[in-house]
């Protein structure tokens, strides 16, 4: 109950930044962010409808990549353990095809289907998907930047 009460008021004061953080997360996920999060990463985690500060305790990694094989231009979804190379959209890698042979391919899309167990500040734990997590640092702006939601006020 105390955590929910704290999160409610913390969320009210940070709601514009958190909405922007998740917006930035969705836009930047395929451009700049890693394809999965690691243990120890500080995040904002969704808890009973509010985003609260937490830290990743464990991660059951499951990253899928949609790839286009060369020269056939056929596409497939491949788990990251079957990819040799950098996990980044647009990267040319070697991916295992349906015949079990590694073949040159280009990554078109990455999907993080991992399960993350996070620990909140009060010690509570919850297992969440990546869609319920935002990188904690993503909500902070450079001083020269303005939030697209800065025109809206909670007061």
User: Residue 25: inside a domain, yes or no?
Assistant: no
Q: Of 33, 50, 35, 27, which Cα lies nearest the Cα of 148?
A: 27
Are residues 72 and 44 located together in one domain of the fold? no
User: Residue 15: inside a domain, yes or no?
Assistant: no
pLDDT of residue 147: 43
Q: Tens digit of pLDDT for each residue in 107-118?
A: 999 999 999 999
As a whole number of angstroms, the distance between CA 9 and CA 36 comes to 30
Are residues 71 and 99 located together in one domain of the fold? yes
Instruction: Answer for the pair 57, 125: CB distance below 8 angstroms, yes or no.
Output: yes
Rg (C-alpha) for the chain, rounded Å, is: 18
Report the domain count for the chain.
2
CATH of the domain at 78: 2.30.30.140
Q: What's the whole-number average pLDDT of the chain?
A: 78
Least confident of 23-32, 37-46, 100-109, 140-149: 140-149
Are residues 107 and 118 located together in one domain of the fold? no
Count CB-CB contacts under 10 A for residue 97. 17
Which residues have a Cβ under 8 Å from the Cβ of 148 and sit 6 or more positions away?
A: 20, 23
Please report which confidence band the pLDDT of residue 34 belongs to, taking 50, 70 and 90 as the band edges. confident
pLDDT of residue 24: 40
- Per the structure, the complete domain to which residue 94 belongs is given by 63-112
Please report which confidence band the pLDDT of residue 64 belongs to, taking 50, 70 and 90 as the band edges. very high
Are residues 93 and 76 located together in one domain of the fold? yes
């Amino acid at each position: 109950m105390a955590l929910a009460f704290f999160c409610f008021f913390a969320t009210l004061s940070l709601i514009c930044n958190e909405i922007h953080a998740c917006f930035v997360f969705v836009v930047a996920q395929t451009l700049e962010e890693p394809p999965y999060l690691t243990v120890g990463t500080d995040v904002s985690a969704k808890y009973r409808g509010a985003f609260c500060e937490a830290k990743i305790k464990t991660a059951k990694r499951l990253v899928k990549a949609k790839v286009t094989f060369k020269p056939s231009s056929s596409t497939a979804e491949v788990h990251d353990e079957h990819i040799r190379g950098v996990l980044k959209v647009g990267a040319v890698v070697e991916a295992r095809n349906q015949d079990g042979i590694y073949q040159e391919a280009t990554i078109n899309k990455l999907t993080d289907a991992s399960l993350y167990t996070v620990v909140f500040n009060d010690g509570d734990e919850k297992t969440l998907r990546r869609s319920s997590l935002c990188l904690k640092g993503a909500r902070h702006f450079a001083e020269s930047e303005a939030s697209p939601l800065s025109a809206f006020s909670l007061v």
